[in-house]
């Protein structure tokens, strides 16, 4: 597919999250406080409603902005605003690039990662969504700008999934999972898993 | 099928807020969108608005402490999820005084992030805003935990003291200084003999063998990785007391305000029995128990457990503790 | 191995009383043998002492309601067992006024017997003594039950109203008349979605299928023989409200004081959500909700359930409800 | 045996109750509020302590009076004072008869039954301890005064046990078990069972 649009991507992401909700709840329960599934599912439901409400010919960056404000302004927890910051940067990069392109995706991922780290202070290896987003951003930056968007998403998804898997091996040092010590070992981080879903949704 | 008397985790929060506002219409007002509660009759002497908030599931914290002599506003998030920044922003705008607004934030990443985003928006609007971060939980005092100690039971004590200080007309800097002093002098420790029921799954959030307690549990059911036999309650309480006093470096003759706090399912009888042992353990160490609150004030849904908190006090702080306040969960 | 934080069922009661007296030394005094609690500072205007009591496990009832404007003494029995007559006798002697002493007794055989024996001893000593028997539980309003309706949640409402009336200097006959009027105008109904944990066995006192509630449960875990699917909380509350109003014969426009009461493990969020539905159901029937108390005040150890109570009121009763009182579990 | 004394009887009763405590708890839990075992066990423990404290040559009626005051003045619940009233009447009848005899036992049982019914207002068939005590009192009244005491106890125990068994078939109309409706059917009344233990302890 080369006809990934911001709207198809975000709707596919929403479907994937709603399908995975129970699994994400279980992961956050094993190593956090159990609300991740509800938080992120609530967020994508708001996003779907906001997408439905959007005018027919909305520009790609406006579509992504709608997701950003759904996450930032209507969803609490840790994950809500962090994903919101990421969408905000995707929207800005898309506006800048004049379209939802591979270059915009790459630039948005890097800027989003930076924003998330500024606010949340997590490094790679702390067992957070940064462990998935950082390699995904790297993979996207390494792609030529003319890579088809769906291929770029696929590359990012591969890197994110690998990053997410790596979170199983470590103790968390950030977020709620940091309190549970060795209980978190063997459990992948739900935020990192969701970053994988986000990129896979564009393929 | 969740055993809670609520149609869904979201209904649990939303119906509770609606019923809370109905039951306490003389004390608080609810703004359902974006979701915050304000005090009807704060003291006219206040120049700084006091705002707190956090995930729901810890009631009566924080909304129960909205009222005269206490908080001006509280922002309840979904169950165990911090409020979103728009709640904090709107609540802060609604109650900011001429001297600005003070955020009382428990040290969790989500709370920090959302309050921080709101603070940026407030400053952008020209409203002075500062924050006191509560980090009292000794169970998370570890080099392995980059985020530092969690904020738990002592939050209730802090809110009372700051509320009384705000009523004296203290300015933002003075309140921050006071708040940081109280936080520095506060420690808590919690244990559970059974997890809370997850509203999402209807099942216990974790399993414990019978007769074991999770030593150092968090108020969202975060496990500590340390279990021990429940054994004699007096022994358990003595060990917990030792950790509090050790972490505070309390010397004999020093005075504390204490909180014996139920986490949800613990009965008043158990809490008072625990207090009996706590008072004895403090006396053994020569610490003066100046004031105590026994009750379930910072809960974790229906967790079977309790926390002990101690806050170093002096004549000034004790007077703030004794100052009148009228909120749904605090009358004195 | 009981999961309660107490060495034994007896320690649960005894340590609780000791810790309670420590925590509230400004308000109450404990006499450990034979076992009762008295108010430190009753109003000097009182001429009749107000004494209540019953099995433990229902805290804060009754000891939490000992204080100025409320009870003069409470006699806590063992868990779910009425106090023995010597407790009632000694407590009554300690607080009897020149106008005698009034016993507030929940309608259970054990309570009736032990208070009755104490009353005989008091009369033998020349102390005037009368009794108000609370029988508010509509679940036990049945021809099959020779002992009549049980006394449950409305006891808390009655104690508040009698306390305020006693402070006006009312004599024994006036208090009995008032108490009987309040009792006649009070009904309660309780449901549980999970039994309490027996302190004797450590196991749930009875088993319920998931998603079912015991409709009409007693505050000692007495089963009603009627279960129903939990379903929508709003529907459950509407049906319960209908039973209360039907049993009271309340007409549209009549006014009530209401109690939304947690039985132990029910969270504040659930109770406030239930109150939302209760207020709506009362409004639908045209009944005026004049005052409400939402909280866990008449509990059944750690039962997961709640009760609703309604007491017919008028200007006089509402004024008594609003009168100031200061007890460990009641400040206003 | 013909050497049943008040003290051997009361001590044997205490042992039987302590042995049966868990079963009595379970019965009261099935059809009451679960505290009967603890109440009655607490009562016999107080009784044992009071018997130990008694002067060596105490009269039989003083021995029984000690039990009466342990039950009446130190034990709450329904069962505590009701058994206390019964012991009070056994003590009075023993004093009257000048010894702990079959006549005293019979007179005490009848007077105790009357006192319990005055205070508790239960009739036979209400599923209470009256269902065991009433036939036991009848059986005792029917015996010639010169029946050896141990035999009298045995006859009373048989009647009480049969009465206790009959409580399984009925709904309770008095006491906590009256609230549970059909849940109590099939469950014997723990108070009635204990009356059986009381008489069996004298054999
Ligand atoms: N400091 C942080 N930086 C980036 N991501 C984080 C941080 N802390 C936690 N997270 C992510 O947030 C997720 C948990 O989100 P959520 O359950 O909504 O919040 P909470 O931890 O407040 O319950 C974790 O799985 C993790 O990926
Ligand atoms: N009205 C009554 N008259 C005689 N015995 C009664 C009556 N009510 C209850 N009982 C007896 O008391 C026993 C229960 O005693 P206990 O568990 O101590 O009291 P409670 O019912 O108050 O929990 C029952 O098994 C029954 O035999
Ligand atoms: Mg979480
Ligand atoms: Mg959370
Ligand atoms: Mg009982
Ligand atoms: Mg019983």
User: What residue's CA is closest to ligand 2, atom 6?
Assistant: D128
**What is the DSSP code string of B259-327?**
EEEE-BS--HHHHHHHHHHHHHHHHHTT-EEEEEEEE--S--TTBEEEEEEEEEE-HHHHHHHHS--EE
- pLDDT at residue C3, as a whole number: 84
Chain B residue with minimum CA distance to C7: B232
CA C274 – CA C294 distance, rounded (Å): 9
- Mean pLDDT calculated for residue range B199-214: 93
**Among A26, A34, A36, A168, residue to substitute to test ligand 1 (most atoms within 8 Å of Cβ):** A36
C86 vs C56: CA distance, rounded Å: 16
Q: Which residues of B touch C19 (CB under 8 A)?
A: 271-277, 279, 294
Alpha-carbon dihedral sign for residues C151, C154, C160, C163 = negative
Say which residue, B225 or C292, is predicted with more confidence: C292
Which residues contact ligand 2 via a Cβ below 6 A? Answer: C 80-82, 108-110; D 28, 32-33, 35-36, 39, 77-79, 82, 116, 120-122, 128-130, 174-176, 189-192
Whether the pLDDT of residue C232 is over 70: the answer is yes
- Beta carbons of D179 and C9 less than 8 Å apart: no
Q: Between 3.40.50.300, 3.30.1180.20, 3.50.50.60, 3.40.50.1000, what CATH number should domain B186-314 receive?
A: 3.30.1180.20
Residue D115 within any structural domain of the chain: yes
Q: Which chain C residues contact residue B299 at CB under 8 A?
A: 267-268
Residues contacting residue B162 through CB under 8 Å, at least 6 positions apart: B50, B102, B104, B132, B175, B178, B179, B182
The answer to whether residue D189 scores a pLDDT higher than 90 is yes
Model confidence at B144, pLDDT cuts 50, 70, 90, reads confident
Distance from C-alpha of B117 to C-alpha of A75, rounded to nearest angstrom: 13
Question: Cβ of D181 and C221 within 8 Å?
Answer: no
Q: Taking all residues of chain A, what is their mean pLDDT, rounded to a whole number?
A: 94
pTM (two decimals): 0.93
Residues B166-181: what's their mean pLDDT? 98
Look at residue A175 in the predicted model and tell me its pLDDT.
78
Are A and D close enough to touch, i.e. 3+ CB pairs under 8 angstroms? no
What is the set of active-site residues of C?
Answer: 58, 220
Please say if the pLDDT value at position A31 is more than 90: no
Q: How far is the CA of A77 from the centre of ligand 3 (A)?
A: 7
Q: Give percent of chain B above pLDDT 90.
A: 94
The residue of B2, B3, B5 whose CB has the most chain C CBs within 10 angstroms, and thus the best one to mutate to test that interface, is B5
Q: What is the 3-state secondary structure (H, E, C) of chain D?
A: CCCCCHHHHHHHHHHHHHHHHHHHHHHHHHHCCCCHHHHHHHHHHHHHHHHHHCCCCCCHHHHHHHHHHHHHHHCCCCHHHHHHHHHHHHHHHHHHHCCCCHHHHHHHHHHHHHHHHHHHCCCCCCCCCHHHHHHHHHHHHCCCCCCCHHHHHHHHHHHHHHHHHHHHHCCCCCCHHHHHHHHHCCCCCHHHHHHHHHHHCCC
Instruction: For residue B220, indicate whether it is catalytic.
Output: yes
The Cα D122–Cα B70 span in angstroms is 55
Which chain B residue's Cα is nearest to A27?
B205
| Closest residue to atom 8 of ligand 2, CA basis | D175
Q: Name which of C268, C304, C318, C327 to mutate to probe chain B: the one with the most chain B Cβ atoms within 10 A of its Cβ.
A: C268
Q: Tell me the mean pLDDT in the region A172-189.
A: 84
Catalogue the long-range contacts made by C20-26 (C-beta closer than 8 Å, 24 or more residues apart): C20/B272, C20/B275, C20/B294, C20/C63, C20/C328, C22/B275, C22/B276, C22/B279, C22/B292, C23/B260, C23/B272, C23/B275, C23/B292, C23/B294, C23/C328, C24/C328
Do D199 and D152 meet the contact criterion of CB atoms below 8 Å apart?
no
For residue range C257-269, list pLDDT tens digits in order. 999 999 999 999 9
Tell me how crowded residue D62 is: count the other CB atoms within 10 A of its CB: 15
Q: Is C283 on the interface with D (CB under 8 A)?
A: no
The CA B150 to ligand 3 mean position distance, Å, reads 14
Question: For residues D41 and D74, is the Cβ–Cβ distance under 8 A?
Answer: no
Give yes or no for a contact between B310 and B317, defined as CB atoms under 8 angstroms apart. no
- To the nearest whole Å, the CA of C238 is away from the closest chain D CA by 23
Judged by CB atoms closer than 8 Å, whether chains meet at C18 and B276 is answered as yes
Structure token digits, residue D60:
């039989």
**Runs of H (alpha helix) within chain B:** 9-23, 85-95, 109-124, 154-167, 172-184, 233-248, 268-284, 315-322
pLDDT of residue D1: 41
Determine the distance from the C-alpha atom of residue D14 to the mean position of all C-alpha atoms in its chain, rounded to a whole number: 11
The set of chains that have 3 or more CB pairs under 8 A with C is B, D
Q: What is the structure's pLDDT at D2?
A: 47
Name subunits touching A (3+ CB pairs < 8 A). B
- Say if the Cβ atoms of D34 and C198 lie within 8 Å: yes
| Pairs of residues, one from chain C and one from chain D, whose beta carbons lie less than 8 Å apart | 134
Three-state DSSP class for B257? strand
Residue of chain C minimizing CA distance to D76: C84
* Backbone torsion region of residue D64, taken as left when φ is above 0, otherwise alpha when ψ lies between -120 and 50, otherwise beta: alpha
Q: Do A179 and B9 touch (CB under 8 A)?
A: no
pLDDT tens digit string along B22-81? 999 999 999 999 999 999 999 999 999 999 999 999 999 999 999 999 999 999 999 999
Rounded to a whole number of angstroms, the distance from the CA of A76 to the nearest CA of chain B is 4
- Catalytic residue list contains B84: no
Count of H-run helices and E-run strands, chain A: 8, 0
Distance CA B117, CA B102 (A): 14
The per-residue pLDDT for C1 is 63
Protein residue with its CA nearest to atom 12 in ligand 1: A79
Q: Does B200 touch chain A (CB under 8 A)?
A: yes
Percent of chain A exceeding pLDDT 70 equals: 99
> What pLDDT sits at residue B130?
98
Contacts of B198 in chain A (CB under 8 A): 25, 29, 34
Ligand 1 site residues (CB inside 6 A) read A 28, 32-33, 35-36, 39, 77-79, 82, 116, 120-122, 128-130, 174-176, 189-192; B 80-82, 108-110
Task: Quickly state the pLDDT bin for D3 (edges 50, 70, 90).
Answer: confident
Min CA distance, D203 vs chain C (Å)?
30
Choosing from B24, B84, B196, B220, the catalytic residue is B220
Examine the pLDDT at D173 and tell me if it is beyond 80: yes
Q: What is the pLDDT of residue B272?
A: 98
pLDDT level of residue A2 (50, 70, 90 thresholds): very low
Cβ of B269 and C59 within 8 Å?
yes
Q: Where are the domains of chain B?
A: 9-184+322-331, 186-314
> Which residues of chain D have a CB within 8 Å of the CB of C208?
none
- Collect all residues of chain C within an 8 Å Cβ-Cβ radius of residue D26: 201
Binding partners of D (≥3 Cβ pairs within 8 A) = C
Check: CB of residue D36 under 8 Å from CB of residue D66.
no
- What's the confidence (pLDDT) of residue B1? 63
Tell me, what CATH number does A44's domain have? Answer: 1.25.40.340
Give B176-198 pLDDT, tens digit per residue: 999 999 999 999 999 999 999 99
Asked whether residue A1 is domain-assigned, the answer is no
- Buried/exposed D163-193: b ≥16 CB within 10 Å, e otherwise: bbbbbeeebbbbbbbbbbbebbeebbbbbbb
Active-site annotation holder among B24, B58, B62, B196? B58
- Expressed in angstroms and rounded, the spacing between residue C150 Cα and the centre of ligand 6 is 14
pLDDT, one tens digit per residue, over B261-316 is 999 999 999 999 999 999 999 999 999 999 999 999 999 999 999 999 999 999 99
* Best B111, B146, B216 residue to mutate vs chain A (most A CBs within 10 Å): B146
How near does any CA of chain C get to the CA of D28, in Å? 10
Q: C74 vs chain B: nearest CA distance in angstroms?
A: 15
Cβ-based neighbours of B52, under 8 Å, separated by 6 or more? B62, B65, B71, B73, B74, B75, B103, B104, B105, B155, B159
What average pLDDT does this structure show over B96-123?
95
> Using a CB-CB distance cutoff of 8 angstroms, which residues of chain B are in contact with residue A124?
none
Cα separation of B212 and D16, whole Å? Answer: 33
Residue nearest to atom 21 of ligand 2 (CA): D176
Residues with CB under 5 A from ligand 5 (ion): C 80-81; D 33, 35
Up-side HSE of residue D182: CA atoms within 13 Å toward CB? 3
- Is the pLDDT score of C108 beyond 60? yes
Q: Please tell me the predicted confidence (pLDDT) of residue B40.
A: 98
The pLDDT value recorded for residue D178 is 83
Q: Give B4 or B124, the one with higher predicted confidence.
A: B4
Region C115-119 average pLDDT? 94
pLDDT at C149 exceeding the cut of 90: yes
pLDDT for B299 equals: 98
Span from the CA of A156 to the centroid of ligand 5 (angstroms): 66
Residues 6+ apart with CB under 8 A from D117: D123, D130
- pLDDT, position A1: 41
Q: Which chains touch B (3 or more CB pairs under 8 A)?
A: A, C
CA pair distance C286, C54, nearest whole angstrom:
36
Q: Please give the pLDDT value at position B61.
A: 98
Query: What are the pLDDT digits (tens) for D79-126?
Result: 999 999 999 999 999 999 999 999 999 999 999 999 999 989 999 999
pLDDT in tens, B233-244: 999 999 999 999
**Residues C61-78: tens digit of each pLDDT:** 999 999 999 999 999 999
Q: How long a stretch of residues is chain D? A: 203
Q: Is the peptide bond before C9 cis (omega within 30 degrees of 0)?
A: no
Do chains B and D touch by CB distance (3+ pairs < 8 Å)?
no
Q: Is the pLDDT of residue D182 over 90?
A: no
Other CB atoms within 10 A of residue D142 CB = 11
With a pLDDT cut of 90, the percent of chain C lying above it is 94
D1 found inside a domain = no
**Residue B120 in this model has a pLDDT that exceeds 90:** no
CA atoms of C328 and A143, how far apart (whole Å): 69
The CATH architecture annotation of domain C9-184+322-331 reads: 3-Layer(aba) Sandwich (3.40)
Is the bond into C60 cis (omega within 30 degrees of 0)? yes
- The complex scores an ipTM of 0.91
Per the CB < 8 Å rule, is D29 touching C114? no
Q: Would you call B28 helix, strand, or coil by DSSP? A: strand
* Better-scored residue on pLDDT, A67 or A179: A67
């Amino acid at each position: 597919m080369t006809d990934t649009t911001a709207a198809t991507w975000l709707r596919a992401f929403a479907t994937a999250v709603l399908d995975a909700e129970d699994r994400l709840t279980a992961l956050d329960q094993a190593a956090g406080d159990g609300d991740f599934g509800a938080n992120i599912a609530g967020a994508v439901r708001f996003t779907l409603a906001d997408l439905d409400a959007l005018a027919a010919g909305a520009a790609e960056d406006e579509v992504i902005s709608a997701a950003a404000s759904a996450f930032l302004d209507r969803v609490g927890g840790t994950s809500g605003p962090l994903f919101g910051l990421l969408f905000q940067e995707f929207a800005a990069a898309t506006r800048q690039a004049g379209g939802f392109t591979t270059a915009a995706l790459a630039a948005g991922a890097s800027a989003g990662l930076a924003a998330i780290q500024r606010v949340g202070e997590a490094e790679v290896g702390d067992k957070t969504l940064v462990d998935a987003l950082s390699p995904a951003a790297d993979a996207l930056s390494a792609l030529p700008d003319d890579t088809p968007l769906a291929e770029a998403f696929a590359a990012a998804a591969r890197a994110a999934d690998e990053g997410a898997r790596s979170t199983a091996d470590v103790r968390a040092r950030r977020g709620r999972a940091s309190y549970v010590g060795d209980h978190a070992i063997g459990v992948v981080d739900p935020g990192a898993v969701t970053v994988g879903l986000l990129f896979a949704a564009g393929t | 099928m969740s055993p809670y008397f609520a149609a869904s985790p979201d209904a649990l929060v939303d119906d509770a807020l609606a019923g809370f506002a109905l039951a306490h219409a003389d004390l608080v007002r609810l703004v359902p969108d974006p979701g915050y509660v304000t005090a009807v009759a704060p003291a006219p002497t206040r120049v700084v608005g006091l705002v707190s908030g956090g995930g729901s599931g810890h009631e009566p914290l924080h909304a129960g402490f909205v009222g005269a002599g206490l908080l001006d506003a509280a922002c309840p998030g979904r169950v165990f999820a911090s409020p979103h920044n728009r709640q904090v922003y709107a609540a802060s705008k609604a109650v900011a005084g001429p001297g600005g607004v003070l955020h009382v934030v428990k040290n969790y990443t989500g709370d920090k992030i959302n309050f921080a985003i709101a603070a940026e928006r407030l400053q952008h609007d020209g409203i002075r805003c500062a924050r006191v971060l509560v980090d009292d939980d000794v169970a998370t005092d570890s080099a392995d935990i980059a985020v530092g100690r969690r904020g738990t039971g002592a939050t209730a004590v802090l809110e009372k003291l700051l509320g009384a200080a705000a009523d004296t007309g203290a300015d933002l800097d003075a309140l921050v200084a006071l708040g940081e002093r109280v936080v520095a002098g506060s420690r808590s420790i919690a244990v559970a003999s059974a997890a809370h029921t997850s509203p999402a799954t209807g099942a216990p959030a974790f399993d414990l063998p019978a007769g074991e307690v999770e030593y150092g549990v968090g108020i969202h059911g975060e496990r500590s990785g340390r279990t021990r036999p429940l054994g004699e309650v007096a022994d358990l309480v003595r060990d917990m007391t030792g950790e509090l006093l050790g972490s505070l470096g309390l010397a004999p003759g020093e005075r504390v305000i204490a909180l014996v706090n139920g986490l949800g399912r613990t009965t008043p009888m158990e809490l008072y029995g625990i207090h009996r042992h706590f008072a004895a353990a403090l006396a053994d160490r020569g610490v003066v128990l100046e004031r105590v609150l026994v009750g379930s004030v910072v809960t974790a849904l229906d967790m079977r457990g309790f926390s002990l908190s101690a806050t170093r006090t002096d004549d000034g702080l004790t007077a703030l503790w004794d100052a009148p306040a009228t909120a749904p969960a605090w009358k004195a």
